[in-house]
Structure 1
Amino acid sequence: MSKKEKKVEPSIEEKNQEVTEKLDEKLGEDTTLTPELTRINELEEELEKVKKDVEQERDSLLRKSADMDNYRKRLIREKESAVQYANERLINDLIPVLDDFDRAIDAAKTKDFAGYVDGVKIIRSQLLDILERNWGLKAMNDIVGTEFSPHEHEAMMMETSDQFETETVLAELQKGYYLHTKVLRHAKVKVGKPS
């Protein structure tokens, strides 16, 4: 035999290729599985899309949760700061009064008692003016002789007599104060009660 007449045996790769092609042809002819495979592929794609959507929503939710947590922490810090410095204006108003008290103490060393008392009265007046003008504090004045009111007065002592027609304030034992229109501290009083 000549070289040309020799049969060349196909290689293993060629045989595998032939088998694969035949299988593909057979599978292509079998149409009973194709709709199911198509549906499975569609469902897998849909599942992947849903997984991505869920992951995006999860990330978004985590970011929003972190934002809310940061916002809550910022509000707490701002509230703490507001509480800590809430009285700053009041303190600034009271510092000059403290300065006047220091001057009054220095004046007490001069042995001028009348001048010292006048200085303390001026400081008291200055303090009340600041508290009334800037802060809404108002003293309950001229209550002796008025009708007793449990909303404004606290009875510390009672005196019964025929000379009273109604419960009447006889003496002011401790001054009462309003904060704007609200009673801040009740005046402690002695009350005359009809018998």
Structure 2
Amino acid sequence: MKIKNFFKNTSQMNTDNTDKEPVENAVENVANEIETAEELSVEAQLEEELAKEKDKFLRLFAEFENFKKRTAKERIDLFKTANQEVLQAMLPVLDDFDRAMVQIAKSDDELLLKGVELIHEKLKSTLVSKGLEQVDIKAGDNFDADFAEAITQIPAPTDDLKGKIVDVVEKGYKLGDKIIRFPKVVIGQ
């Protein structure tokens, strides 16, 4: 708009009236083109800013969606392992029960054995219902440090037990997919 006024003022300063109209038309056309170019430039800037803001919004929205998914997953994992500490505290009691069962089985008292077996099974079934599972490792399996803890190595009794588990000293347990106590094993060397 300022440019248009400038050209009008300069055309008015022209004292020669002979070709005034074509000059005014030319000045007006140039001023209109400049004004149109300025409007297009402003429009392009606004479109660019709008595109930036849309991109910013989409990124923020995606980040928020990822946050929601991550917190939902963490919440589910927390519910799955909420009683982990209690179950870990019960594991030594379960180990003691297992050792007691071995000793009671050596005695001649059938009623005592039957009663303790019932209590032992009830304890195990209660812990299993809360999500506790025994890690399935036995003598003769290949040793994998991701699923067992080697406490010692002994010379292998046979050649086929080299690098394999010779004995399971302490049972391992997992809660869901997470191992909460690794089995302690002896490996053949």
Pick the TM interval, shorter chain: 0.3 to 0.5
Structure of greater relative contact order (alpha carbons < 8 Å, 6+ residues apart): 2
The two structures have a TM-score, normalised by structure 1, of 0.40
The structure where helix makes up a greater share of residues is 2
If you compute each CA radius of gyration, which structure gives the higher value, 1 or 2?
Answer: 1
